Amino acid sequence: MRFVQDIPNPQFRIGLYAWNSKYIVKIEAGPYEQTYKVSEMDLIDPAAVPSLLDQEFLTKVSQRFQDMDADWQATGDRNNAF
């Protein structure tokens, strides 16, 4: 996987990568990660990726991270793991 660029964001660590004819957007928050893959054929210029990460999209990403954390905590509670 080849690193292309960091995408500045105050809330998340966002990186853009290239691998197997795909661009990979990796969004990290604490111990959690979301990954989005886009075919290079569907995206003319990787410089356009930051504009795709608009506020509506990032709000849903944030909610998904909260859901991931709640799911992880719930499984830990059910299984007396934490």
- For the segment 30-45, what is each residue's pLDDT rounded down to a tens digit? 999 999 999 999 988 8
Please answer whether residues 46 and 18 qualify as being in contact, where contact means their C-beta atoms are separated by less than 8 angstroms: yes
Q: For the chain, give the percent of residues with pLDDT over 70.
A: 100
Burial 51-69 (b: 16+ CB within 10 A, else e): eebeeeeeeebeeebeebe
Q: Smallest Cα–Cα separation from 6: which of 59, 43, 15?
A: 15
- For the segment 39-67, what is each residue's pLDDT rounded down to a tens digit? 999 988 888 999 999 999 999 999 999 99
Q: What is the pLDDT of residue 43?
A: 86
What is the value of pTM for the model shown?
0.90
